[in-house]
Chain A
């Protein structure tokens, strides 16, 4: 047991960190003006291209698609060091590389892989995911969007919702019903070209005021049969494998852990300089307890991610700790935000960019955006169902 970098890992981290610092400056400059989400996605995609060209963008992916051999710890170090140095990131890059690309790698045809994996890995294709519907959220398998076979094509009709970045994506993955019968069967997983006629994307304004996600309407949209991923009618298998992909859990868990560490440092700095009615926040026994607890939670989450990584590295099956990572990462990111809300009191209310705002209004924004954490990618309640049924072996609810 050793929590430190091995000599090989330390050397890798050093090379990586030097490379990142050398290449990051212009990207951070572009982020400095706090541009809107669409522009941040462009910057994140350009950054992925830079990473790819530098040999760090496709670690652990097959060399045929531009990847390089790497173990799980090296892949994690890229996440950790990038976050530490404030590298560009956007949710749709995680959707593209964490959900869509692994689905194609596991279930896609050779042709699909060759056409899409290289541009995805090099930041040249941005993808979205179209699973949820107005009447199929947590109960995803009851979705009603139809895909009717028509010769060499399928014709899609229906409505999707909560598709992050669908209005900025050229490609997407779609889950649609190809037949009647038991709800978990008769679903098929498609690749969709978002520029196909018959697709209308309407951005949804979320509670932060921004529009990061969208509704997608399909009206007689034609998709070639060659774009089915996996077998027709076994899309549920592909979708579940995608959602439960260990890369997803890990990058979510590890990423959240790193973000929490960065957030904690800002929180500590803010507590030291902030005064409240009872005096300096950092001297207040109540806030000291709250902040220490948030710090401990973030540490626990990071240490659990290390356990998952070590097991992966040794080729062992993930234990129960893997299943709690998303839940715990989301929980602690929200906790951090809630502690900051308590500390700032009325000062949280100051608008973004105004001179009353603490940390340029990042805490106020965090208080809004962090509500999404325990909803997106499967609500915490669904995560608990999965843990109860799959890990603890409790009977399914009705």
Chain B
């Protein structure tokens, strides 16, 4: 047993943090949030992240990537969660790429992965529909054979980063079986939903009979819900790490504030009403980190209990991120509730990420099922 990070992993973390502190300051995040879809700042950030090889970190070397394990991606993801990176790294690397890798055939992987690794593709994944139900029954969009390919009919909702993605993998039913189709975002009708998190916008996607080629169906036949779950599990492990980073960051901001803000002639951090909440946040965040890296490792090893580890991590981490950001606002008092204070940006991200890809209640139920309750 050795669950510590390697020296290389520690280096990856410190270099990522240095880079993001420099290239993704909170000012850039706020600019992106105000600008709506992306903007020049996000484009520049994306390009410099691509130059560091971050898009291809998990892509195998045969396809032009660095072939690193999901745990390494989780480290990057945690650091990006601290900085609230507004570029679509999670959507591209966590969602789109995993769909191609897990569900695509050799030809599709050969077509997409090298371009992803080179930073040429921004993609995302569209599973949910208007009712937000995550599961086999939530997919009603249909695919019917048409000419050489398929005609997609229906609509998708709560699709992250769709406004800055060029390609989107869409879940649709072909002869009653769920499959994944790669669709050019330009071929769809998009509605920006200006969701609660302006740093990772959500959009609705309408497919009014969009026609796609036969090579767009990942794996050449409907992959089934179990494969989609596998894609989602790997993405969720990265999402958990991202949430740990955000929760850790707001804890640090809160501790710093509690050390300096004076009331009754002393720092408010000397009051147990404040300090004990900070200690409880630390307990929750460290537990979240323990669960999240275990989940990523189980996915790396493709263990049978990976779904259980992922759901345990997501249930805990979703609750923790929401609670930590709520507490951070509370402990900052009035200033914490202002638009100028940055805390609401993490709070918004927490609300969005806790709910997307299955909320804590969904994942606790999945844990209950997987432990044979």
Contacts and interface: CB of A to CB of B under 8 A. Distances in A.
A214 to B, nearest CB: 31
B337 interface: no
A147 B315 CA distance: 54
Interface residue SS majority, chain A:
helix
Best-surrounded residue of A292, A310, A313, A387 (most CB of chain B within 10 A): A292
Contacts of A383: 279
A307 B290 contact: yes
A311 B5 CA distance: 10
Interface string B254-292: 010011000000110111101110111011001111110
Contacts of A311: 4
B282 A2 contact: no
B206 interface: no
Q: Which DSSP category, helix, strand, loop or mixed, fits chain B's interface?
A: helix
A100 interface: no
B316 A397 contact: no
Given A324-B283, A327-B283, A314 B275 contact: no
Contact of B255 (A321, A324, A393): A393
B270 A394 contact: yes
Interface residues on B, range: 35 or more
A11 to B, nearest CB: 13
A244 B272 CA distance: 21
B4 A1 contact: yes
B297 interface: yes
A89 B127 CA distance: 52
A398 interface: yes
A200 B373 CA distance: 52
A310 B3 contact: yes
Contacts of A6: 1-2
Interface string A101-122: 0000000000000000000000
B368 A289 contact: yes
A306 B270 contact: no
Interface in A127-183: none
B267 A395 contact: yes
Nearest to B295: A303
Contact of B1 (A73, A272, A321): A73
A296 B270 contact: no
A1 B276 contact: no
Interface stretch (B132-140, B208-216, B359-367): B359-367
Say which size band chain A's interface belongs to: 35 or more
A328 interface: yes
A268 interface: yes
A282 interface: yes
Interface string B288-326: 111101100100000000000000100110000000000
B71 interface: yes
Contact of A303 (B271, B275, B290, B371): B290
B1 A395 contact: no
A289 B364 CA distance: 6
Contacts of B286: 304, 320-321, 324
A9 B6 CA distance: 20
B287 A328 contact: yes
A295 B371 contact: yes
Contacts of A313: 2
Contacts of B9: 1
B278 A394 contact: yes
Contacts of A398: 266, 270
A387 B266 contact: no
Contacts of A33: none
Given A3-B294, A300-B287, A393-B259, A292 B364 contact: yes
Interface in A354-393: 381, 383-385, 387-389, 391-393
Interface of A: 1-6, 9, 73, 268, 271-272, 282, 285, 288-289, 291-293, 295-297, 299-301, 303-304, 306-307, 309-311, 313-314, 316, 320-321, 323-324, 327-328, 331, 381, 383-385, 387-389, 391-398
18 contacts: A268-B371, A268-B372, A288-B364, A295-B312, A296-B364, A303-B287, A303-B294, A304-B286, A310-B1, A324-B283, A381-B272, A387-B279, A391-B282, A392-B279, A394-B278, A395-B266, A397-B271, A398-B266
Cβ-closest 6 pairs across A and B: A388-B275, A303-B290, A300-B287, A394-B269, A384-B279, A288-B368
